[in-house]
Chains A and B, each alone.
Chain A
Amino acid sequence: MSCTVSMTVNGKTVSREVEERTLLVAFLREHLGLTGTHVGCDTSQCGACVVLVDGRSVKSCTALAVQADGAAVTTIEGLAAADGTLHPMQAAFREHHGLQCGFCTPGMVMSAVDLVRENPNPTEAEIREGLEGNICRCTGYHNIVKAVKAGAEAMAGTQATPVAAE
């Protein structure tokens, strides 16, 4: 059985005929070719697949594409400005070496953006608790925590919250 799914992804309206069982992550990766969102597990544990749906973080491996019908989805590809300027959270991850192999990074950054939306000035403990749904095997989290702290400060400074504005 197939159905038509329409949504806004990174500001563009898209519409595709898909099998009803198509997961949101498969829709993004296979149907739209947005391979920045990754699949790291099959039990909704690792968070590599986190995207923003209407501004809130969602594990896209655990949502059907049809559930996002009509929604505004932001993936890692849509976070930087159109001219390529990194979002403050992306820039903070680079500055503080918050990534190594890069595989968990898209989900980690999207989760961090949502974390700061909910709590603009998080403590280290709040950052650690806020990211417990995202597994990173490379960094030991030390520099991710530093990056999120710095990213939060930068986001407050610039008030650049393109995601929340959508």
Chain B
Amino acid sequence: MANPNGIGASVRRREDQRFLTGRGNYTDDFKRPNMTHAVHVRSPYAHARILGIDFTDALAIPGVVAVLTGADMEADKVGSLPCGWQIHSKDGSPMKEPPHYPLARDRVRYVGDAVAVVIAETREQARDAAEMVVVDYEELPAVGSSTRAIAGGAPLVHDDAPDNVCYDWHLGDQAAVDAAFANAAHVAKIDLVNQRLVPNAMEPRAAMGEYDQSTGEYTLTTTSQNPHVTRLLMGAFVLGIPEHKLRVVAPDVGGGFGSKIFHYGEEAVVTWAARKVGRPVKWTADRSESFLTDAHGRDHVSHAELAMDADGNFLALRVSTLANLGAYLSTFAPSIPTYLYATLLAGQYKTPAIYAEVKAVFTNTAPVDAYRGAGRPEACYLIERLVDVAAGVMGMDKTEIRRRNFVPKEAMPYQTPVALQYDTGDFAKNLDIALPLVDYPGFQQRRAESKARGKLRGIGFATYIEACGIAPSNVAGALGARAGLYECAEVRFHPTGSVTVFTGSHSHGQGHETTFAQIVAERFGIPIENVEIVHGDTNKIPFGMGTYGSRSLAVGGSALVKAMDKVERKAKKIAAHMLEAAETDIEVKDGRFTVAGTDKSLGIGEIALQAYVPHNFPLDELEPGLDEQAFYDPKNFTYPNGCHVCELEIDPDTGVTTIVSFAAVDDFGNVINPLIVEGQVHGGLVQGIGQALYENCVYDEESGQLVTGSYMDYCMPRADDVPSFTVRYHEDQPCTHNPLGVKGCGEAGTIGAAAAVMNAVVDALSEYGVTHMDMPATPEKVWRTIRDATPAIAAE
């Protein structure tokens, strides 16, 4: 490696200095002269009609500046929060898309739906006053779960969505699947629930609106993963502010995991209110509000069947899923249980025929949208649980049934029966690396040793694949996306040779300020200290699509490479002029431009200086400056894949599960910064383990009340709940269609882990005849399962 801080180096993160010394700038840290504070009045009911709002007493609280309601927004012609993806049902009809106003107008549809906003001098005054706002509600019957939503006679969340159905969609060849099942020697079946989760980025959402009366310009500072998307949606659809008068800034953001992709009503409220009250308005959620109003994730109920021949070869897969979308459509909600889920149902297997049906319904619960993995963990969990059941049906080893059905490396590129084309992957290799790491042959002996100590030991595998690098705009558009999903980058050389990069990707923990700088340092042979990465401000960067779907490096990094290509081409022209050589004779290596066969050469720094001091440029042929911009639209998704193995022990007396070891072998294509990649895997794994063992977002089915509304009730994985990990990756199968050969690593851990853990839990409980358990495998659930499966104990 030529550059010590270049590609492949575990460069320590440049952003850490400010985070470790308390100098980060998160949205709630900002303070403006004359700033006011907003607190929302939220519905305590899951479903109710608003008969009236009386805020006379609230206005009397000292410090209160204003109380604003949905009626005020309606009077100002504020629009509905738009949805960015349209799905069509089997019959060709478009999905139901009911309006979603930032402040409810006539009805509230989930606990936490905002009804009014109180603006005051201090947060405490606003909170006091919010408690004095009297809303007259007529409570309506509510729908607290997806299964209740489709039960006959269920209350309607939206009057124009019959049976609470948003869409009834399908993918795949139903006839081919039916034919394969008719001829199958064996069929494995499973019913499972992929429970609802709350993303829980540690920084609660926040937003600050400002309005400059002299220029008519608005500024929104917000906890966003993609400020340009927020600017477009809020400006064009909600508030009617043209883009050149609206700046959206996403400063340091304390984690997102999907939940900060979406445009939320509070962003529109503070921006609109800032003009109404003529002062900056800041809102910060407390954690209780985050639980109630952040978009949640998952929430599927599924039935799946796998047809096999006599040797355990997969013939066909049939899946039926009921997906809960919550009360309103969040920004990308419709795409998650469809194109980010059903398209991944082939997994790593060459199953020739697949058919999936997805019915998505409205309920009186918080909106559901992307949460780390977004559809892909649901697909992986379903397939990998079903494959374990299939191994049981066939009496085959769980690794052997997988190996037998893997898409072989030689079959790449591989067209799946569910729309995707995998470019590269060596699934057998992942397994080959993983098995020695976990000493698979020694497992039975370890199981016997555990049993001798009165413990149950299990091992579980998950071999996952995901579609990342979201997304080829032409494909996404054909599938219902209402936006392009490219990325932008601008590379600006300064006269003295330092570089500022403007990227549309947004870092909220991923370390782009380091990784992206490594790519630039490597390309131009310059010290990493000379490179600055700027992101998160629509006034500074070209139109960027932000960070989600493990796309930053694969799409944003590729845009960066494209911009660097342009810089290099321009620099080559300048070098040719300065060295009095033909452009075709200039050779470029590590930022040095040399006339072929001579010792005449220039460094990129010297060229940059000339670019800005062009005293003798042939101006007809050569423009001054060295500042190039590029947009990159991927040709295909990328396909990170891997093999995760979990070994655990269960105490049958208490039901407590302890993970003994966890190994993750991943193929992310090329790796820029191993330290950061491994950190992404660790964090992802714990979110997957959290789903498997601890986390569960529970609504009361009838009342629609959120039962798990705080960290007292919603169990977050803590340091003493999880193990240290064995993480390996290989770079043998780089992505074939982006210039860095990268696939993305942000979501992988979460996608594989839950299935690996649950397969291990079921394996540990197999001696009790257990073939499936829904997540989370809490001590109580495990203990009850063991008790119910033990006749002697159950009879006591």
Docked complex Cα distance between A124 and B719 (Å): 10
**Residue in contact with B252 in the complex, picked from A29, A37, A46, A102, CB distance below 8 Å:** A102
Contacts of A105 in B (CB 8 A): 19-20
Tell whether, in the assembled complex, residue B724 and residue A40 are in contact, meaning their CB atoms are under 8 Å apart.
no
A17 at the interface (CB under 8 A from B): no
B509→A37 contact, CB < 8 A: no
Number of residue pairs across A and B with beta carbons under 8 Å? Answer: 173
The reply to whether B20 and A41 form a contact with Cβ atoms under 8 Å apart is no
Query: Contacts of B26 on A, CB cut-off 8 Å?
Result: 35, 38, 103
> Interface centre among A41, A90, A129, by most B CB within 10 Å?
A41
Interchain CA distance A107-B785 in the complex, whole Å: 39
Are B711 and A100 in contact, CB atoms less than 8 angstroms apart? no
Decide if B22 touches A103 in the complex (CB within 8 Å): no
Structural contact, B20 and A103, CB atoms closer than 8 A: no
Query: Is A77 close to B, CB under 8 A?
Result: yes
Answer whether residue B287 sits at the interface, using C-beta atoms and an 8 A cutoff: yes
Indicate if the CB atoms of A46 and B21 lie closer than 8 Å: no
Q: Which residue of A34, A95, A106, A132 contacts B718 across the interface (Cβ within 8 Å)?
A: A132
Residues from chain B with a CB closer than 8 A to the CB of A42 are 286-288, 710
Contact A45 B712 (CB under 8 A): yes
Closest 5 CB pairs of A and B: A36-B22, A103-B254, A102-B19, A101-B509, A45-B711
B553 lies within 8 A of chain A by Cβ = no
Q: Is the CB of B287 within 8 A of A102?
A: no
Can you name the residue of chain B whose Cβ is closest to the Cβ of A144? B719
How far does the alpha carbon of A29 sit from the alpha carbon of B20 in the complex, in Å? 16
B203 contacts A by Cβ under 8 Å: yes
> Per-position contact with B for A135-158: 1 when CB-CB < 8 Å, else 0?
111111111110000000000000
| CB pairs A–B below 8 angstroms (11 shown) | A42-B288, A77-B23, A94-B16, A101-B254, A102-B16, A102-B24, A102-B254, A135-B202, A137-B201, A138-B683, A141-B722
A16 interfacial contact with B, CB 8 Å: no
The bracket for how many chain A residues form the interface is 35 or more
CB within 8 Å of B: which of A79-124?
79-80, 86, 90, 93-95, 97, 99-106, 109, 124
- For the complex, give the distance between the alpha carbons of A142 and B683 in Å: 8
* Residues in chain A near residue B422, CB distance under 8 A: none
Tell me how far the C-beta of A21 lies from the nearest C-beta in chain B, rounded to whole angstroms. 7
With contacts A46-B287, A103-B203, A129-B720 taken as known, whether A137 is within 8 angstroms of B683 at the C-beta atoms is yes
| Contact (Cβ within 8 A) A40 B21 | no
CB of A48 within 8 A of chain B? yes
Minimum distance in angstroms from A60 CB to a CB of chain B: 13
- Give how many B residues have a beta carbon under 8 Å from the other chain's beta carbons: 55
Report if B621 contacts A (CB, 8 A). no
Q: Report B-chain residues with C-beta under 8 Å of the C-beta of A132.
A: 718-720
The stretch of B398-406, B684-692, B760-768 in contact with A is B684-692
Q: Mark B682-715, 1 if CB is under 8 A from A, else 0.
A: 1111110000000000000000000000111000
Q: Is the CB of A41 within 8 A of B31?
A: no
* Complex alpha-carbon distance, A106 and B716, angstroms: 19
A166 close to chain B: CB less than 8 A: no
Q: Are A43 and B719 in contact (CB under 8 A)?
A: no
CB pair A46–B711 under 8 Å, yes or no, is yes
Most chain B C-beta atoms within 10 Å of own C-beta, residue among A35, A134, A143: A35
Residue from B510, B679, B749 within 8 A of A143 (CB atoms): B679
Q: Is the CB of B255 within 8 A of A103?
A: yes
B287 with A41: CB separation less than 8 A: yes
Given contacts A45-B710, A103-B202, A128-B719, contact A139 B23 (CB under 8 A): no
Map CB proximity to A onto B648-678 as digits: 1 under 8 Å, 0 otherwise. Answer: 0000000000000000000000000001101
**Residue of B13, B254, B678, B711 with most partner-chain A CB within 10 A:** B254
Cα–Cα distance between A45 and B710 once the two chains are bound (Å): 9
The verdict on B200 contacting chain A, using a C-beta distance below 8 Å, is yes
Known interface pairs A77-B22, A97-B13; 16 further A-B residue pairs with C-beta atoms within 8 A, sorted by A's residue number:
A33-B31, A34-B22, A46-B202, A77-B23, A94-B13, A97-B675, A97-B678, A99-B16, A101-B253, A102-B19, A104-B202, A104-B254, A106-B22, A138-B202, A141-B718, A142-B724
Residue of chain A at shortest CB distance from B682? A140
Question: Does B12 sit at the interface, judged by CB under 8 A?
Answer: yes
Q: Which B10-56 residues have a C-beta within 8 angstroms of A?
A: 12-13, 15-24, 26, 28-29, 31
Report the Cα distance A143→B16, complex, angstroms.
14
Q: Is the CB of A135 within 8 A of B711?
A: yes
Say whether B124 faces chain A, with CB atoms less than 8 Å apart: yes
Q: Bound complex: CA of A127 vs CA of B720, how far in Å? A: 8
B287 x A43 contact (CB < 8 A): yes
**Is A140 touching B722 in the complex (CB atoms < 8 A)?**
yes
Closest residue of chain A to B199 (Cβ to Cβ) is A137
A134 to B717, CA, bound (A): 10
Question: Which residues in A have some Cβ–Cβ distance to B below 8 Å?
Answer: 19, 21, 29, 33-43, 45-46, 48, 75-77, 79-80, 86, 90, 93-95, 97, 99-106, 109, 124-125, 127-129, 131-132, 134-145
Q: How far is the CB of A2 from chain B (nearest CB, A)?
A: 12
The residue on A at minimum CB distance from B676 is A97
Chain A interface mostly: loop
The answer to whether A127 touches B719, judged by C-beta atoms less than 8 angstroms apart, is yes
Q: Which residue of B lies closest to A135 (CB)?
A: B716
B interface vs A, CB < 8 Å?
12-13, 15-24, 26, 28-29, 31, 124, 200-204, 252-255, 257, 286-288, 508-511, 675-676, 678-679, 682-687, 710-712, 716, 718-720, 722, 724-725, 749
Determine the residue in chain B with the shortest Cβ distance to A105: B19
* CB <8 Å contact, B720 and A35: no
B22 touches A35 (CB 8 A): yes
Contact A38 B20 (CB under 8 A): no
Cβ distance B27 to chain A, nearest Cβ, rounded Å: 11
Is there an interface contact between B204 and A40, defined as CB atoms closer than 8 Å? yes
Q: A35, B29: Cβ atoms under 8 Å?
A: yes
Which of chain A's residues has its CB closest to B26's CB?
A103
Residues of B within 8 A of A77 (CB): 21-23
Q: How distant is B712 from chain A, measured CB to nearest CB, in Å?
A: 5
Shortest Cβ distance from A139 into B: residue: B683
Residues of chain A within 8 A of B683, CB atoms compared: 100, 137-140
Set of chain A residues within 8 Å of B687, measured between Cβ atoms? 137, 140
B-side contacts of A125, CB under 8 Å: 720
A100 and B12: CB pair below 8 A?
no
- Bound complex: CA A22 to CA B514 (Å): 39
Nearest-CB residue, chain B, relative to A84: B21
Cβ-defined contact, A94 with B203, below 8 A: no
Residues of B close to A100: CB separation below 8 A: 255, 509-511, 679, 683
Contact status A90-B686, CB under 8 Å: no
Whether A138 contacts B509 by the Cβ 8 Å rule is: yes
Q: Collect the chain B residues with CB atoms within 8 Å of residue A106's CB.
A: 22
Given contacts A35-B29, A100-B510, contact A145 B719 (CB under 8 A): yes
Docked Cα-Cα span, A29 to B31, in Å, equals 10
User: Which residue on chain B has the smallest CB distance to residue A127?
Assistant: B719
Instruction: Say whether, besides A77-B22, A80-B21, A101-B253, A139 and B286 are in contact (CB < 8 Å).
Output: no
Shortest beta-carbon distance, A61 to chain B, in Å? 10
Q: Is the CB of A90 within 8 A of B202?
A: no
Q: Is the CB of B31 within 8 A of A94?
A: no
Given the complex of chains A and B, what is the CA–CA distance between A102 and B17 in angstroms?
10
The reply to whether B718 and A140 form a contact with Cβ atoms under 8 Å apart is no
Contacts of A127 in B (CB 8 A): 719
Is B203 within 8 A of A101, CB to CB? Answer: yes
Asked, given contacts A45-B710, A46-B711, whether A128 binds B720 with beta carbons under 8 Å apart, the answer is yes
Cα–Cα, bound, A103→B20 (Å): 10
Contacts of A99 in B (CB 8 A): 16, 19-20
CB within 8 A of A40: which of B202, B508, B675?
A: B202
Bound CA span A103–B722, Å: 20
- Residue of B13, B24, B684, B718 ringed by the most chain A CB atoms within 10 A: B718
Quick check: B13 and A101 within 8 Å, CB to CB? no
Given A99-B19, A137-B255, A43-B712 contact (CB < 8 Å) = yes
CA–CA, A144 and B749, complex, Å: 17
Q: Pick the contact of A101 from B23, B28, B255 — CB < 8 Å?
A: B255
